[in-house]
Structure 1
């Protein structure tokens, strides 16, 4: 049953990642990967809420592993950062690495804190 919940969450998370990434990136005329940053921070926030909210394991499988696992994308973050370096946009690459890690961690902590305040 858990595998099916993960698959269902991923079936929603992957297209959501693509659509959200493209929508955000289309609004910016920059080489900076705003779309990937957005999905990674959003996924970290959602996962933080799930972890902090002491939700049932089935919901963690569906939303945490499935949805957030497919919504967030460490591989694309790595690829885009390397591409920025290769194209000479080293400042963007450095900013992407620092901002992505800091913002995703901050969002996860914020999510845990929100869950504790709401359901603590």
Structure 2
């Protein structure tokens, strides 16, 4: 049963990642990977809220599997972030590559923290 929750979450997360990435990137005329950045930050926010809710006893283990492992696991992408960063550097856009690393890490951590803090305020 647990594996099914992960599969269902991933079935939503993977297409949501693809569609969000394409929609965001199409609105920016730059080599910076805004689509990947967006899905990773949003996924960090969702996971922060979920983690905070679970710590407060407001999220079941089933919800954690569905949204945390399934949805966020398929929505976010460390491999694409890594590939795009290396590609930027290889193409001579080293400033964008460095900005991608720094901004992605800082924004992801900030989003996770904000999500956990919001959950604490709601359910703590």
Identify the TM-score tier after normalising by the shorter chain.
over 0.9
Match of 2:23 in 1: 23
Q: State how far apart, in whole Å, the 2-side matches of 1:43 and 1:2 are.
A: 21
- Give runs of aligned pairs for residues 102-113 of structure 1, distance below 5 A: 102-113=106-117
Once residues 62 and 113 of structure 2 are traced to their aligned partners in structure 1, the CA distance between those partners, rounded to angstroms, is 22
Which structure 1 residue ranges, 5 or more long, are not aligned?
none
Number of aligned residue pairs: 120
- CA offsets, 1:13-68, max 9 Å, x none? 00000000000000000000000000000000000000001210000000000000
| Match status 1:34 vs 2:34 | yes
Spell out structure 1 runs of 4+ moving beyond 3 A.
none
Give the structure-1-normalised TM-score: 0.99
Can you give the 5+ residue segments of structure 2 that lack an aligned partner in the other structure? none
Backbone CA RMSD of aligned residues: 0.3
Normalising by structure 2, we get a TM-score of: 0.96
